[in-house]
Structure 1
Amino acid sequence: MANLHVLFLILAAVSGLYSKDSAVIHLNANNFDELVLKSKDIWLVEFYAPWCGHCKNLAPEYEKAAQALKGMLKLGAVDMTTDQSVGSKYNIQGFPTIKFFGENKSSPTDYDSGRNSKDIVNFMIQKAQQIANKRLGGKAETNSGSEKPRQEQQKQQQQQQDEPANDDDVVVLTDSNFDSTVLASDDLWFVEFYAPWCGHCKKLAPDWAKAASQAKGSVKFGKVDATENSGLAGKYGINGYPTLKFFIPGASKPEDYNGGRDASILVKEAFAKLDTLGKGQTMKQLVSEKVLTETCQDAVCILAFLPHIYDSSANERNRYIGVLSDVAKGYRGQPVRFLWVQAGDFYKLETMIGLGFGFPSVVALSLSKNRFALMRSAYIAEEMQTFIRKILGGSVPLTEYKELPKIKSVEPWDGFDHVLEVSNEDL
């Protein structure tokens, strides 16, 4: 019986993800307390199962990070199939679960950053610097002279957090609708394959919903219950939860996503993927009430009223739209939406706002609060950014309206100059 026990341990070690020569330190029930909990060292610990697909994908990146940090910071791994007792106290519900053990070893924190070696190394170095500064009695790290950008970033993050997350913005995908909804689409899709019982999936859910709301109108977010839709799970090799994939229009297969999983990072990566595809920020034209409500219902809507094509040219209009697009890029992931409007298409709306001449003009509109504000400065990026910043900060007077005029449907711009029609009588 003893020999069988030894054989089992040998087989378990062989089946592990990290070799005996790995820079990733093998942690188990015999050494965990001594090496991690009772030490002064800083640890990042992965709780994994050898059969887990996500664990297998993480292993080479985790190994690279461990090699880079060797002799400085510790990366360890616990095989939960052989040492379940180690992870049981930390409520491990899915694999891999990664936890950071800093100064307070009794209360480790979840690691939610990216899953590549560079992200792991940057995370550990940042944490080490924070702890070192704390021991010195100083403040946490930062570069001198960067306080203003940091404050602006914190303000933007708070605005992102304040935007309500609406699970309705996540499209439910199934074996029956996936091809027609995703594969036949011209949009970039970000899809989660999940299992209802998966702890990591439950933790991701609010961030996934928030990211879907923040990226609404640019990137589509979807979710697939892989336990109910085995056809899709088999087709895309889903063997761990949650699995996140980008579905790119026209591509033969999806791209795996292994980055961070909080809402701000998901949105950032989704827009970065859009940029690499050359799609960038799509600037919609207001052509119907449906476009207005779908785009702007839960956000501040920036409407750029551009000269009618009769009074302008395609080149001039594209230049105006380009300015709006550049400004919009700075507010991606925030509760701000952008539309351009052809002057004259919605006369009653222009009358309510007080427009009648001087195009292009910019208006901030809140459908939920029945208020608007007119930008009274030049149509340039810097002035628009200042106007939007003041709107978000509450320092611009808003005008209340009782009811928005009916938005009729109009024909979208065809992208060309207006060509005068000449009849035989004119000749």
Structure 2
Amino acid sequence: MRFGSPYSLLLAVLAGQSVFSGVLAAGQADKAGDTVVADIHTDSKTPESPAKAADALPEVLQLTGGNFKEKIAKGYWIVKHHSPQCPHCLAVAPTWKKVVNHYTTTPVSPDLGATYTQAYPLNFGDLDCLAYGDTCAEFGVVSWPWFNVFKDGKKVDSFEKTERTFETLSAFVDKQIDEIKSNKVDKTKKKAVPAVTTTPNPTGESLPLDTERFTKLITTTRDAWLVKFYAPWCGHCQAMAPAWAELGKEMKAELNIGEVNCEAEKRLCKDLKIKGYPTILYFQNGERVEYDGLRGMGDLVSYARKAVDSGVKEITDEEFKALEKKGDMEVAFVYFYDHAAVSEDFSALDRLTLNLIGHAPIYKTKDPLMSTRFRIFAWPKLMVVREGKPSYYNALAPHDMRDYGRVLNWMKSVWLPIVPELTAANSHQIMNNHIVVLGILNREKADDFTLAKKELKEAAMEFMTQRAEEETAERKRLRDAKQLRLEEAEDRNDDRAIKAAKNTRIDVSRKKEVHFAWVDGIFWERWVRTTYGVNVKEDGARIIINDEDHKLYWDTNTEGGAITPSRSRILATLGDVLSKSPSIPAKSTSSSIERVFLWFKSGSNGHPWAAIIFFLVAILGLAFWGRGKIRRKAAGYFRLDGKEGILGGLGVGGPAGGKVD
């Protein structure tokens, strides 16, 4: 042991005091949750070793009195001041080790590969105050263990809680990371005034990225990048390569374009959870979103331009009316705020923009005229306008507007137009779990296409109005029934019945959701023809009502003819299909085996025990049938006209005779 100063010598002398003094000090320290420096003691019994899990972790950097100031002179440092003889220090050591290991090995997010200490100027260290007591005293350490935060050599914060768990210490570290982020943003804003930021994509090409360049240019910056992850042997990647090169030229000085060879950068692609090639990701402000659209040149450029213009824009009522009048704004989100809005509200709003690229723009406004027009009387408020019809996000308090996951889920449920075009990117969202009124249209006949789309949209709007009226009427009926029960209970002075009536919930029965959409019957000709038997070039525009969950569809109206793009025919047919006993027969898009599986699946959802019994009976039946078949073969004969014979199934009406709907 060495003594850096008289203060250190005094600590060593105090450390050799009697056991009685040590016990007194320990008792006083236990009350406060700390070990007091002036009353430290030694004990003949050594404390138990830390947890085995922590033993396997790397040691925290040990600082000394000689290098302490030099180390903490740059960046953020979180330092634990301790003594090797302090019971509380020994107790917290394994937890502190886990905390440090978490921030030095865990990526900033599942999307990005850099750890916290790589992405931010964040460092961790330990300082032994028994050996370097003068250094600890200089920075106000009065008890052990003590956690100080240093920024560029100056102490800026301390951990003052007595509960030193992984959660509390992690929360303390997260607080410092938030401070680093805010300082980074402030510096960016200050530098933005005198100096213009570097022009994106100055050479007009796709920049090859390795791990080092990716971390430097994307992970640790807030810059926007559209990056392709590929493999040289991938056929789809090779086919897309010319379009990607042209995209780089097209977005010169507008958006950074990059590419990562996952064969050469396997660790980076693994950290980013790349599961297929090519994968296209858009990065901005430390967040990312995957592009899942078509990969043609025009599609890529369209997405890239929307990404560049994806920020939250301030708008007035007059400007919004002009966009509505223009007619090309099918869906738009509007955030209403007032003078009480704080920076956290706008930060939460900015996070949402990345996921809205290619779906809908988002605006913010404090224009009183716009608030009056859309009947906004409380702020903040988030609204979506679809085809001129507004609906609102249900937030009970301002902090609910900052619930990123909840707000985004709501946006995803309403960001499609009332009658969207069915594409490869949105097909699952539109078709799954819904009844879909699908218009199969011909874009080549412009007038017919416009008229058919208008009729489909009018039918959708009328259906939505009908559904809303039905829900309102049902809710009113339930409320009237509740009020009647309450009045009857009050007349009888029945307290239990009164309480039960008051607790009755008004639950409107959930109905099968119905979506409307249209598909380009020329572009998707093969799929439309093989699935629904429709050829728009010969048959003209047609309407199909599809139930993807049960692999069923309806292509005839109540009169037996084809469903044409007429709102009256669409609504009449849809009403029949949604009734409990539809008169129009359904057709199937699946095979016989698939239909049996779907029937069994739907039955098992409502009656699981009955399904299990049926399954066991079916297995036993197959077993007996197979056993009998083996015996017949053993007898030396078989039936030529049976199902298993040569002639089986080839007659009229057999399985090979044609598709049975």
- For the superposition of Structure 1 and Structure 2, which TM-score range results when normalised by the shorter chain? 0.3 to 0.5
What TM-score does the superposition give when structure 1 sets the normalisation length? 0.38
Greater helix share, structure number: 2
Of structures 1 and 2, the larger Rg is shown by 2
Q: Which has the higher contact order (CA 8 A, sep 6+)?
A: 1
TM-score scaled by structure 2?
0.26
